[in-house]
Amino acid sequence: MTGALVGTFTLEMMTTVPLSYIKYGNILWQISEIPAVYVHKLAILPSWQGKGLGTWCMQAIEKLTIERGYYAVRLDGVKTHLKLLSFYKSQGYQQVGELIYNSDVWVDAIVFEKVLVFL
């Protein structure tokens, strides 16, 4: 499978909390008003899961976060995806809240944060 895409993630670098977290969640950030990186769409092909790629992605995300002058990584995972939630916890992420959408379009999620640089 040379040259095939097996994983991806998207980063949103913000100095303020995105509206989706404010509007739909009761979030208790460890340090509320710090520049943070928000991870979206982290995905590894199922056939490649369990081989360390997710961990590699998280380490790369944290390195980019610090290099770009941000202090924390924030992300969410589908509330019913227990394997994913366990993975984030194993990477040192703390559960800080939930996103409750009450919608047929969006699914409820658990919000995590890892503070990398303390002021």
Domain residue ranges of the chain, discontinuous segments joined by +: 7-115
In this structure, are residues 78 and 109 in contact, taking their beta carbons and an 8 Å threshold? yes
What pLDDT is attached to residue 119? 65
Residue 87 burial (C-beta neighbours within 10 Å; 0-12, 13-18, 19+) = middle
Say if domain 7-115 classifies as CATH 1.10.510.10.
no
What's the pLDDT tens digit per position in 11-69? 999 888 888 888 878 899 998 889 999 999 999 999 999 999 999 999 999 999 999 99
* Distance separating alpha carbons of residues 114 and 112, to the nearest angstrom: 7
Q: What is the mean pLDDT of the chain?
A: 92
- Which among 68, 53, 93 is positioned nearest to 11, based on CA atoms? 68
* Structure tokens that stand for 37 in this block: 């990186």
List C-alpha distances in Å: 3 to 8, 48, 51, 119.
14, 14, 17, 41
